[in-house]
Amino acid sequence: MSTDVTSLRQALADNYEEPEGPARNARAERIFAGIEQSGDTDLLIDGLNHLMQVYNYSSEADKMFVPFARLLRMWDERPGDFDGQQTHSLFWMFKWVSSGMIDQPHIPLASIEKWQGEMEHRYRVAGHSERAVRQGELRIARHVGDTERAARAYAAWQAADRDNKSDCRACELRAQGSYLAHRGDDAEALEVWRPVYEGEFSCAHEPHAVLSSSLLPLLRLGRQDQARAHHLRGHRLVRSMESMRSAVAQHVEFLALTGNEARGLEILAERPAYFTDSGEPSSLMGYLAVTALLTDRLTALGHGEQSLAGPGGRDWTARELAVHARKEALALAARFDERNSGSEVSRTIRERMDQEPLLERLPLGLRPSRPVPAPRPAPVPAPAASLDSLLAEARGLSEAQRPDSLEAWAAVAAAAVREGAELGARDRAELEEHRGLDRTVPPAESAAHFRAAADLYESAGDLGRALAARARAAYALCQDEHSEERFDEALAELAGLRARMLALHAEGGASAHQVSRVLLCRCRILNDRIHLSEDTAAAVGALEESVRELLAFAEPHRDDAGVGTTLGEALGYLGNITAFGGDAQEAAGLYARAAEAYIAAERPWYAVEVETQLAGVSRHLGDPETAERASRAALEHARAYAEAGGLCRLHLQLVESLADNDKLAEAAEHALEAAHWADEAGESKGNGAYARHRLGGFLLQLGRVDESAAVLEAVLPDLTPDDHGDGMIVQTLWWLGDCLATLNEARAAAEHWLRAADIARGWPEQRDHAMLANLAGQALYRADLNSEAELAYQRAGELWRELGDVHAYVRTLRVRAWIAVREGQAGPAVARELMTSAAQACETALEGADDREARDGLRAELADTHRQTAELIASAIEGGPGEDDTDGSARAAYTEAVESAEKAIAAFTAAGEQYAEQRARSELLAGWLEADLGAADAAEARARGVLARHDAEGVGADARSLLEYVGRG
């Protein structure tokens, strides 16, 4: 390591910018070794300060006490060696030392109190407020469980004046809210934290810690949506910061208590060193405690043998890790309690490990890599019901056509076996019929159940139900074998059944519901046959004829609830036929009538399909309000009976309808639900990925950028060209780039935009490719990655030129000019060439512009190019045209810059009054240049001309500044 003072100072500055962790600490130690050899006392103080900084914000916080002791000894011996900033740092670090000692169980409590007293004495002598001292005392009191002392210290802390030794406002509010939450005042704590998590106050470690600290208070107050948002925001902030182990532990704790065990496992796996880093035992203890909490939850859920990454670089089962983490956490707690002569730490650690879940599930919008079922309450065994009561319940559900009637009849069968009872023929017939209705049964088996039911109905003397059951059997066999022969056989059988049923009905031996059931089975068979027919139009016509026969029969009997369901299905078929014929408006009306028929029959669960069709055709017709109403109704009517995959699709349908109506917040809620149900259905990489993609986009549009970034980052690995298409991948990358740019992660934003641009490179339409390359250039420019930015802008410029977008092309040239004058780049000559090319492109386009609006826009673009050229020329001259301008080159450059500004003024004037402000700013630029050239009269004239046309605010205020500069204000 060099002992050159300048090089060592630069090394310290560079190391400050490195990520937290042992690598940065090791570099700091190597740099400090060089500093000690340099013999420079001032640098030695800065080097010790640097060691304190890096140790404090790392897993090696226990190392900071040695450099602090050395600094304090140097201060006591020669305080004059410390400048103002170094003195401030020394006193500031007292807080770190006194607080840091609490986290080290090997440091006696008496020593901690001694250092706390030392800090109080030195602060008083130096004239500092006792605010920081009382905050430190509060931490000691809380640690040992002295509630009375804690209350006194808190009151004294809040009463003391703030000064430059007080923590920043964000950190103070975090500590204040932490104390309030600790004593049970969750609502008050969240109110104190609000200015931090809403962005009013922030620092390098806030709102990171506040977001994690707020998770459980939010859950306890029932504010689940906000808790979810704080997790998504907060974990993303802390996941790369080694010193934030305590915050990460709070996120794991939150996940363990909300049914998100799998997500908690992912976080544990991200930093295996967190299990063993011992430089701060207090945060290690907390991390082990939440690890025990999480793995105990897994064990309770039946996943005790699941393999997990853990300490020691080996795999553990969840059960093993639970035992290990609990043991180690309690061992550390015992060391603290031994030091403190109390039991407070062990008590709080046990309470933390033994918490019960606060929610059964809280969907996060993230897909865990390892599915772990959410905890389910253990079923409470119900007393065995009698066979008679079960029969009565099953028959009632059947008459109501409830979807859960199948389970009720299964319970009847089980009870009959249990009681050794013999069911009557009619009961056995209904049981067989419901077995046939079970969609999990193969079609051939289903047909057999229906035929058995028909035989039993006949033996019981109910010929109407027997014929209806045989019609169902014929339809089931068509589903078993899709062939022309099978359909022909079924239709022939249905013709006979239809004739017999109509005759029986005329004699009063069959109900209207039974007749409509036979007619409906014929419609179903004809509908399924369409895809086999070579003459689609004829097949659709046959279906329509059958449907209209059913409608003609059913309409007079619509008050019969059973007939109402067949009426609804028939109207749905007619809607499909009408849509096939191209009349979407009429189809929408038929779907709406079908839904009304189901609802009038008090069978709303049957309306879901037609409501879904109504939503789709309404969106096609540009009727988002109807689409939204139908989507809501479908979801509501399906909610009690639909399986997870169906609920996912219904939520997604509502998502699209809500998005069409700009109800983005609610659309995000349903996208979140859709993602959850997709996971439940095992569709995480299909519909689940789409739901998360949409959720991320909505969150971005709603300004919830941190949450959006977390969701989009999580979904990106699941997206593949084959399953989701290039368009969805590009859009996800684009949105993620937008998020990261907003979060000042410019380099990462550029990487995502460039990846998207590479995909879009192969698309026929190149505007997206150009835009993405342009965005990447902007991000790279912000990140000071100049060579990469130049390449991105060059790529974008070529694309804009090919697309004929002169404005975008010219702007890329201008930015490239500014890149060229940055350090290490092509230089002023190339920058001037690029600005000239930009001006020429505007002038060429002006020659071909054929309308006034286009010409005015191009004149403004040309004017802005001249203005920026003037700024670029002047900025390239160090010192300006002053006394050091011995060769007159600076004066010549400034004179040329004035000429470019004059061209800008003329072009803005020609572009029209809508560019009056831009023209005024160009005039002021010329005035400032003239002032530096010594032409005060000309500068004054320009400033007064601008003031005459503009208000005192804005441009007018800038004009007054110019007048003051030339001494004539």
pLDDT at 287: 97
Asked if residue 446 has pLDDT above 80, the reply is yes
Burial class of residue 91, CB neighbours in 10 A (0-12, 13-18, 19+): middle
Q: How many CA atoms lie within 13 A of 924 on its CB side?
A: 24
| pLDDT band with cut points at 50, 70 and 90 for residue 766 | very high
Number of other residues whose CB lies within 10 A of the CB of residue 788: 18
| Cβ contact 770:800 at 8 Å | yes
756: nearest Cα among 735, 780, 741: 735
- Residue 865 burial class via C-beta count within 10 angstroms: exposed 0-12, middle 13-18, buried 19 and up: buried
CA angle 644/645/650 to nearest 5° reads: 95
Element (H, E) at 855: helix 852-875
First to last CA, the chain: 55
d(CA 903, CA 868): 11
Per the CB < 8 A criterion, the answer to whether 820 and 793 are in contact is no
**pLDDT category of residue 543 using cuts at 50, 70 and 90:** very high
For the cut 60, the answer to whether the pLDDT of residue 494 exceeds it is yes
Q: In the prediction, which pLDDT does 220 show?
A: 97
Q: How far, in Å, CA of 561 to CA of 287, rounded?
A: 61
pLDDT in tens, 814-871: 999 999 999 899 999 999 999 999 999 999 999 988 899 999 999 999 999 999 999 9
Q: Average pLDDT in the 368-388 region?
A: 57
pLDDT band at 600 (very low <50, low <70, confident <90, very high): very high
pLDDT confidence of residue 878: 81
Q: In sequence order, what are the residues at sequence separation of 6 or more whose Cβ sits closer than 8 angstroms to the Cβ of residue 532?
A: 482, 483, 484, 487
Provide DSSP, 486-503: HHHHHHHHHHHHHHHHHH
Confidence band for 952, pLDDT divided at 50, 70 and 90: low
Q: Whole-angstrom Cα distance, residue 54 to residue 364?
A: 34
Does residue 49 register a pLDDT over 60?
yes
Q: Which of the residue ranges 221-235, 469-483, 891-905 would you say has the lowest mean pLDDT?
A: 469-483
pLDDT the model gives residue 76: 93
Q: Rounded CA gap, 497 and 759, in Å?
A: 60
SS (H, E, C) 385-398: CCHHHHHHHHHHHH
In the predicted structure, residue 969 carries a pLDDT above the cut 80: no
Picking from 292-296, 307-311, 659-663, 832-836, which range would have the lowest pLDDT averaged per residue? 307-311
What does the pLDDT read at residue 375?
A: 43
CA distances from 29 to 7, 15, 53 (A): 15, 11, 12
Could you tell me the two tokens for 62?
């226990």
pLDDT band for position 712 (50/70/90)? very high
pTM value is 0.86
- The model's confidence at residue 379, banded by pLDDT at 50, 70 and 90, is very low
Which pLDDT does position 183 carry in this prediction?
A: 94
What does the alpha-carbon distance between residue 154 and residue 138 come to, in Å, rounded to a whole number?
6
Mean pLDDT of 80-94: 93
Mean pLDDT of 113-118: 93
What confidence score (pLDDT) does residue 312 get?
84
**Letter string b/e over residues 144-179, b meaning 16 or more CB atoms within 10 A of that residue's CB:** bbbeeebeebbebbeebeeeebbbebbbbbbbbbbb
Phi-psi region of 128 (alpha: psi -120 to 50; beta: other; left: phi over 0): beta
State the Cα–Cα distance between residues 693 and 367, nearest whole angstrom: 12
pLDDT of residue 313: 80
Residue 459 has pLDDT above 90, yes or no: yes
Q: Say if residue 378's pLDDT is above 50.
A: no
Token pair 């003195």: residue: 87
pLDDT tens digits for range 508-534 = 999 999 999 999 999 999 999 998 888
Percent of the chain residues topping a pLDDT of 70:
98
Token look-up 């004046």 returns 161
Mean pLDDT of 454-467: 93
Rounded mean pLDDT of the chain?
Answer: 92
Model confidence over 618-655: pLDDT tens digits?
999 999 999 999 999 999 999 988 999 999 999 999 99
| Residue where the block lists tokens 């067989």 | 432
CA distance 959 to 927: 9
- Residue 745 CB coordination number (10 Å): 17
Distance CA 293, CA 252 (A): 9
**Contact yes or no for 627/657 (Cβ under 8 A):** yes
What pairs with residue 315 in β-bridges? 309
Q: Judge whether 494 and 445 are in contact, CB under 8 Å.
A: no
For residue 384, which phi and psi values (nearest 5 degrees)? -60, 125
pLDDT at 826: 93
d(CA 61, CA 84): 25
The token duo for 749 is 């934003």
In the block, which residue shows the tokens 């490719």?
769
pLDDT, tens digit (0-9, with 9 covering 90-100), for 793-816: 999 999 999 999 999 999 999 999
> How confident is the model at residue 418, as a pLDDT?
86
Half-sphere exposure of 938 (CA within 13 A, CB side): 15
> What is the H or E stretch that residue 607 is in?
none
Nearest Cα neighbor of 866 from 828, 829, 904, 922 is 904
Cβ count near 851 (within 10 Å): 8
Res 709 pLDDT > 70: yes
**How many whole angstroms separate alpha carbon 805 and alpha carbon 783?**
26
Q: Would you state the pLDDT for residue 380? A: 45
Residue among 103, 106, 205, 182 at smallest CA distance from 352: 182
**pLDDT surpasses 90 at 400:** no
Reference 156, options 193, 124, 130, 184; nearest CA is 130
Rounded Cα distance between 554 and 552, Å, is: 6
Q: What percent of the chain has pLDDT over 90?
A: 80
Residue 416 has a pLDDT of 85
Task: Give yes or no for residue 367 having a pLDDT over 80.
Answer: no
> What does the alpha-carbon distance between residue 457 and residue 469 come to, in Å, rounded to a whole number?
9
Instruction: Name the region of 374 (left: φ>0; alpha: ψ -120 to 50; beta: rest).
Output: beta
Residue whose pair of structure tokens reads 């009720």 in the numeric block? 408
* Neighbour count for residue 79 (Cβ, 10 Å): 10
Cα Rg, the chain, nearest whole Å: 38
Answer whether 947's CB lies under 8 Å from 964's CB.
no
Contacting residues for 959 by C-beta, under 8 A, at least 6 apart: 920, 924, 943, 944, 946, 947, 950
- Please tell me whether the peptide bond between 383 and the residue prior to it is cis, using omega within 30 degrees of 0: no
DSSP β-ladder status, 315-317 and 307-309: antiparallel
Burial of 852 (0-12, 13-18, 19+ CB in 10 A): exposed
Task: Please count the other Cβ atoms lying within 10 Å of the Cβ belonging to residue 88.
Answer: 13
What DSSP assignment string belongs to 872-929? HHHHTSSS-SSTT-TTSHHHHHHHHHHHHHHHHHHHHHHH-GGGHHHHHHHHHHHHHH
